[in-house]
Structure 1
Amino acid sequence: MTPELVVLDMAGTTVADDGLVERAFTAAITAVGVPADRHPPMLDHVRRTMGQSKITVFRALLGEETLAQRANDEFRRVYEGLVHTGHCVPLPGAADTIRVLRAAGVKVALTTGFAAGTQHAILDALGWQDLADLALAPGPGVRGRPFPDLVLTAALRLEVTDMRAVAVAGDTPSDIRTALRSGAPVAAGVLTGAGTAADLRAAGATHVLDSVSDLPTALGVLPCEGN
């Protein structure tokens, strides 16, 4: 059946990353005094946990809460600076995909592992503030991936009647785990970001797609005339 709600990740799924996360992360750990010889294993951890809440990643790597918060604040400053200077572009076909879904009566939520301020900086830079029905980031009462909170909160706020009518798409194993833990029957992985096909299938992806542009067809949602 046609889903009531599609929950889409941002960086790597609908928005190109192009190494921005790693650039901002490197700047953040440098700013809080992490020596250069410790950067490679930390960056490996960042790659493995792509899609998760950034403050959670900093807490895991730096331990001390004050240090993690300082690093997270620096990450946000650097990443948002890159966004504001034009280093943020949509993935081909992503905006059209959202429009096709909404024109077919499907609600769309954009979710992220970034802080809400960073998410809105991206939406502003792309002119996407009104593109989807909802934009949602981790925050008080909403844990980040791989917890199911982002999907469940989107379903609650958009008044979905049945979790079996929810589809989720993202580019990382964390996106897939979030989808499955929420009870969504569609956990689609896309190959435009951090995860490989093997990574996504190992996490339990129900579909592996070349890009988010393939999602409407996979869901059986046909473009309305004029879209």
Structure 2
Amino acid sequence: MTIHEDITAVDELDLLGDENAVDVELVVLDLAGTTVRDDGLVERAFVLAAERAGIAPEGEARDTALRYVRDTMGQSKIEVFRALTGDEEAAQRANAEFEAAYAELVAEVGVEAIPGAVETIRELRGAGVAVVLTTGFAPATRDAIIDALGWHDLADATLTPAEAGRGRPHPDLPLTAVLRTGASSVDAIVVVGDTASDIGSGVNAGAGLVVGVLTGAHDRDALEAAGADEIIDSVADLLELLGLDRHDG
């Protein structure tokens, strides 16, 4: 799967070459690790949550749990805690502690956008392409990030698993983004993320293009194995990939 190589204007922006060209109508972007720097905040919040909730608080048990958190980065956090605890009450307690810990860390150390993320989103929307931000976090955690960055009006919508149904790698987040924005088909969407779960979600949704970025949790090999059609260094390179880099020449 490749991007059309002779794009000169947004009306000509298409996927899959000339014969069955499809206009790009929607770009679905992950938050932490893709458009927002993570800098280890997810892992730090997990460690605090594990201690406070009494699940794998130390030693080998915590190391094993932390590896699972890394491997499942991008997935719904409540589902991660359900897998780790095997108990709904314990999972809910740990998830609540995670949300509180992440919000505390955001307030303490702040969050930053990936360089070029804001400009990319604005350029896409200026070209008539809808943008939806998605995350595996709970709504409260999502809101803490959006509030800290002042991103309330940056994208067309922001979605969590609580608002879409199931988390990644299920297709619910991209498909809900299609419904929210009125995109005409899944072929017309581009899904971008830094984890295997992000890529899996795009693939399972049948997105026209699924793009991995190397600014987050998983490396090139993991993103390729998950089914990414293209891999770029950063979301800042997305405009060029889609033929919308208007700063050249």
Q: Which amino acid aligns with 1:145?
A: R
2:186 pairs with 1:163? yes
1:150-182, Cα deviation, whole Å (9 max, x unpaired): 000000010011111100000000000000100
Q: TM-score, normalised by structure 1?
A: 0.96
Instruction: Quote the RMSD (CA, aligned, Å).
Output: 1.4
Q: Which amino acid aligns with 2:172?
A: D
Do the aligned residues in 1 keep the contact of 2:194 with 2:214 (CA within 8 Å)? yes
The aligned residue for residue 191 of structure 1 is 214
Q: Equivalent pairs: percent with the same residue?
A: 54
Equivalent-residue separation in structure 2 for 1:140 and 1:17 (angstroms): 23
Matches within 5 A, 1:52-201: 52-139=75-162, 142-201=165-224
2:58 pairs with 1:36? yes
Please tell me whether Structure 1 or Structure 2 has the larger radius of gyration of its CA atoms: 2
Q: How far did 1:85 drift?
A: 2.5
Q: TM-score, normalised by structure 2?
A: 0.88
1:66-100, Cα deviation, whole Å (9 max, x unpaired): 11100000000010111122421111111011011
Q: Which amino acid aligns with 1:79?
A: Y
Q: How far did 1:35 drift?
A: 3.6
The structure 1 segments of at least 4 consecutive aligned residues displaced by more than 6 Å after TM superposition are: none
Q: Which amino acid aligns with 1:88?
A: V
Structure 2 gap ranges (5+): 1-13, 15-22
Equivalent-residue separation in structure 2 for 1:167 and 1:186 (angstroms): 5
Do the aligned residues in 1 keep the contact of 2:160 with 2:173 (CA within 8 Å)? yes
Q: Secondary structure at the match of 1:160?
A: coil
Equivalent-residue separation in structure 2 for 1:18 and 1:217 (angstroms): 26
Equivalent-residue separation in structure 2 for 1:136 and 1:92 (angstroms): 22
Do the aligned residues in 1 keep the contact of 2:47 with 2:57 (CA within 8 Å)? no
Q: Secondary structure at the match of 1:85?
A: helix
The aligned residue for residue 10 of structure 2 is none
Structure 1 gap ranges (5+): none
